[in-house]
Amino acid sequence: MITIQIQSYGLDPISFAQKLQSVWFEFQSEAYDLVNRTREYMVNYINTHKVRPKSGSKLEDSIQVETINTIGGIEMGIGNIDKIQQIAPYWRILNFGGVSNTGHYVPLGSFIPGEPKPSKQAFRQGQWTVGAGKFTFIAKRPIQGIHYIEDSTNFLESNIKDLLNNLISNLE
């Protein structure tokens, strides 16, 4: 969560409030646009960094912008974890990495689309679908995280600095 607090320096409170009010709606609009651009950045980051690009888009589709509060300020969120957990419970392991079935047999199934039998080529082509075939394999390596949350947070923080600098220059 990023909290921004704006304080006046060198201005009496009434003058500061008037100046801030003159740019406040523009600031809110730009902040809203930035949050939506950050969501787009996150979705694009996931799409370009996931190992199996054809594995579907449940996670990407579940990441939405939510306005939490608009009274006395603006509070927005990108991705409601409770909703994402229901739709794409693998969000955490894709972000942070970890051990998922490593050293164990994966339930019977096949890769769809592509070559159904497990192989390096099949892994890159399709998604393992349990119950869709008679094949199995032992998962040998842990999943490497792609750190999409951290990278998107860095994108947001960098752009917030620019947004605040514009706000401050408009107040002077």
For 96-134, write each residue's pLDDT tens digit: 988 766 566 778 887 777 666 666 666 666 677 788 878
Q: What HEC string does the chain produce? A: CCCCCCCCCCCCHHHHHHHHHHHHHHHHHHHHHHHHHHHHHHHHHHHHHCCCCCCCCHHHHHCCEEEEECCCCCEEEECCHHHHHHHCCCHHHHHHEECCCECCECCCEEEECCCCCCCHHHHHHCEEEECCCCECCEECCCEECCCHHHHHHHHHHHHHHHHHHHHHHHHC
Query: pLDDT tens-digit profile of 135-172?
Result: 777 777 778 899 999 999 999 999 998 888 887 777 66
Whether the per-residue pLDDT at 35 is higher than 90: the answer is yes
pLDDT in tens, 64-74: 999 888 777 77
